[in-house]
Amino acid sequence: MTNEDEGTGPGTHRPVIEKVKTDREVIHLEGHEYGEVMTLSQRVLYRMLWWTSFTIGRSYFRLDLRGLENVPREGACIISPIHRSNLETPMISQVTKRRLRYMGKESLWKTRFGAWLFTTAGGFPVERATADRTALRACMEVLQRGEPLVMFPEGTRQTGPKITEMFDGPAYLAIKSGAPIIPVGFGGTERAMGKGVKIPKPKRCVILVGEPIYPPAASDGGRARRSDIKALTERLGVEIQRLFDEAQDLAGDPNPP
């Protein structure tokens, strides 16, 4: 992929993410590939985790879900939420009963148990702060099969009421695949479990799903134009900020004006 394909030239959005050094290598489970079709055992585990998230979300966090009709019932889509808490990864599964596919930070695959759990649940690692082409190819395979994919465009957990500069990954993949982006705002999750918090607090949380954002068509030859990627990323950022502000209001933790 060229710079024009990926939108890596001047003026594009690239969050600053500190690369964590470690001596441990990512563990690849034998017989599994990134973005693979989920097996029966993977589907069973995913459903068990979904029900666990459902139960805890409704009882402990009084989770309020709005705009679920905006998530397609079939076909590929890219679900792109704001990211303020580790709670958002399991909670995002509640926007649909469809099996979601995730990219996760590579550190989650540094232990044997973590590699088994997250791979079996349908995830695959991404090397953050880099253009991880293996992960991008896996994302394209997932979308080409018509599955929903979760991508946090801020790249990692952030703090505060304003969305940070975003990665262009969702916009790039949307244009290349033709899949719509589904923006999502979370409210109350940082108050319940922000960075550095080990035990989540029983605070009210809200998920607000916005209307699909449809990408422009790729250019001749299937290339994603840099200008289109930049414009789509900016549009996504504006919509996520709006949803975040509204969700925070609904959760009783409004962002400063």
* pLDDT per position as a tens digit, 131-158: 568 888 899 999 999 999 999 999 889 9
Q: Does residue 12 carry a pLDDT above 50?
A: no
In the prediction, which pLDDT does 24 show?
62
Q: Which helix H or strand E contains 231, and what residues bound it?
A: helix 226-250
CATH fold of 10-15+24-250:
Glycerol-3-phosphate (1)-acyltransferase (3.40.1130)
Query: 174: which 2 tokens?
Result: 């949307």
- pLDDT confidence of residue 9: 36
What's the confidence (pLDDT) of residue 19? 45
Model pLDDT for residues 197-227, shown as the tens digit of each residue = 999 999 999 999 999 999 998 887 778 899 9
Bridge pairing between strands 123-126 and 64-66? unpaired
Using alpha carbons, list the distances in angstroms from residue 164 to 49, 124, 174, 185.
Answer: 30, 24, 20, 14
Q: Give the pairing type, strands 206-209 and 64-66.
A: parallel
Length of the chain: 257
pLDDT digits (tens, 9 = 90+) for 180-193: 999 999 999 999 99
- Distance CA(170)–CA(81), nearest Å, equals 11
Domain ranges of the chain: 10-15+24-250
Average pLDDT taken over every residue of the chain: 87
Crossing angle between the packed helical segments 226-250 and 169-177, to the nearest 10 degrees: 120
pLDDT at position 18, please?
45
